[in-house]
Structure 1
Amino acid sequence: MKSILAALLAAAISTSVAHAGDIADRAADAEKALQAGDGAAALEKFRGAEEALWKAMPLAVMNVRQVDSASGFGIYSERANHIYKAGEKVVLYMEPVGYGYGSDGLGNSQIGLSVDLTVLSEAGEKLGTFEKIGSVQVASRSHNRELFFKLDLSLDGLPAGKYRCDFLMHDQNSSKTAPFSTDIEIAG
């Protein structure tokens, strides 16, 4: 718990000063509850610190992987290489963080994310931009933090060569966006 608390406090230092005090105070309250032997109260207070950090942080995309399959958070089979046959589907696994929560009108929190793609040649020439090539919507009674996004890309028509795929993730519940990239090769 101390290493998690230390990581949370370190992250709090990098957020804005207005939020940093709130995050640190909540984490300190969690530590006090834990020292008093009240694990449930410590966890609840720690979750309050996590909520404050989550709201203050920018949208980011972590653990972007090219995969053969993905069926859940952290449950994926990573692809051996980034070389594809012409017409073969590119499957990406990613873990967004820092997204906002809306409401579905039924008492659930609503997570909504979409992704745009720009394909660039090996020389950096922009070959095309495609908006909202993928999206995810999740309704939940809690503010889920372990969310994975699986994106199936069809890059039919690209000739043999190396390419960079630049993505921009959009949070539908805030103005937050997050760029991320991956390289692929179409075999000749």
Structure 2
Amino acid sequence: MNRLKLPLAALALAPLLLPAPAAAEASLAAYGAVREGLLAVWDELPLTVEAATLSDGPATGFGQFTPRSSREFAPGETVNVYAELIGYGASETADGYYLRQLDADLTLLDAAGNVRASQPAFFTSSTKTRQRLLETWLSFTVTLSDFEPGEYRLHYVVHDRAGEKQTSFELPITLTPAPPAGG
């Protein structure tokens, strides 16, 4: 028998042996210890995009989006992007809050990798909270109406101003020809 299994099993059963208020208190203490450990690991993580996808509209919250089934866009059609981010920092403010500061640059690359358009600080966000957030989502919206049909890549560089980190990700898209006039 593995020596770790017995202590883990005993730890799992301990709340059952305690009166309800004591079990709740033990669970809250365990949660606090686990959260502190998670924050220590979090601070060592590189800034990372865990999920990035095209969506059928702007996201309304963390994990609250509809994935787009196609990467093709008609002229003037809005491109929506959803991304989840981990490893970002938060600076403490003098009034006891945590401040998360993110921004992103957008570059449109053609099939050959040539820059067709670029917009630094395409997105900026500053969030002030009482607790450090461990779930963050980004929702980007762009309309590409002045570009020829073809294969492109949306290249995003996300900057974490509080944690002094950055990361990047790309999503391929296809701009389709305009429908024939009168069709």
TM-score by length of 1: 0.77
Match of 1:161 in 2: 150
Aligned partners of 1:31 and 1:42 also within 8 Å: no
CA shift for structure 1 position 177: 0.3
Indicate whether 1:68 and 2:56 are aligned: yes
Aligned partners of 1:115 and 1:135 also within 8 Å: yes
Indicate whether 1:41 and 2:29 are aligned: yes
CA distance in 2, matches of 1:100, 1:31: 35
CA distance in 2, matches of 1:161, 1:92: 19
Gaps of 5+ in 1: 1-29
Aligned partners of 1:83 and 1:184 also within 8 Å: yes
Amino acid at match of 2:36: G
Q: What does residue range 101-120 of structure 1 map to in structure 2 within 5 Å?
A: 101-103=90-92, 105-120=94-109
Structure with bigger helix share is 1
| Equivalent residue pairs, number | 159
SS at the partner of 1:138?
Answer: strand
CA shift for structure 1 position 107: 2.7
Gaps of 5+ in 2: 1-7, 16-25, 178-183
C-alpha offsets along residues 1-46 of structure 1, whole Å, 9 cap, x if unaligned? xxxxxxxxxxxxxxxxxxxxxxxxxxxxx99865643322221111
CA distance in 1, matches of 2:117, 2:9: 51
Match of 2:181 in 1: none
CA shift for structure 1 position 112: 1.1
SS at the partner of 1:77?
Answer: coil
Instruction: Select the residue among 150, 154, 168 that pairs with 1:179.
Output: 168
Indicate whether 1:144 and 2:129 are aligned: no
Q: In terms of mean alpha carbon deviation, does 81-90 or 124-133 score higher?
A: 124-133
TM-score by length of 2: 0.79
C-alpha offsets along residues 133-186 of structure 1, whole Å, 9 cap, x if unaligned? 112221111111111111111223111111011111000112200111101111
CA distance in 2, matches of 1:119, 1:36: 56
Provide the identity percentage.
26
Superposition RMSD on alpha carbons, in Å?
A: 2.0
